[in-house]
């Protein structure tokens, strides 16, 4: 199993938006969302289904 890379910086999130790179959002060890990011700010990540608070989740480069 290939280890996924955690996205930690605004630059990495911006790259995912610009290049349409899919991500995975994990909360409490389970996958909550897989797909593209629409936007983000210092407190949340915006996806088509809604928002995730950055402090409450871990974001990985995903495989969709």
Amino acid 62: pLDDT: 77
- Residues 21-44 pLDDT 10s: 999 999 998 999 999 999 999 999
Backbone angles phi, psi at 60, to 5 degrees: -125, 150
3-state secondary structure the chain: CCCCCECCCHHHHHHHHHHCCCEEEEECCEEEEEECCCEECCCEEEECCEEEEHHHCEEEECCC
pTM of the entire predicted model: 0.87
Cα separation, 17 vs 30, in Å, equals 23
Q: Cβ distance 22 to 36 under 8 Å?
A: yes
């Amino acid at each position: 199993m290939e280890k996924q890379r955690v996205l930690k910086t605004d630059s990495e999130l911006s790259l995912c938006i610009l290049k349409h790179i899919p991500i995975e959002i994990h909360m409490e060890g389970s996958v909550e969302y897989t797909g593209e990011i629409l936007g983000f700010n210092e407190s949340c990540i915006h996806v088509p289904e809604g928002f995730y608070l950055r402090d409450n989740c871990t974001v990985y480069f995903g495989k969709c």
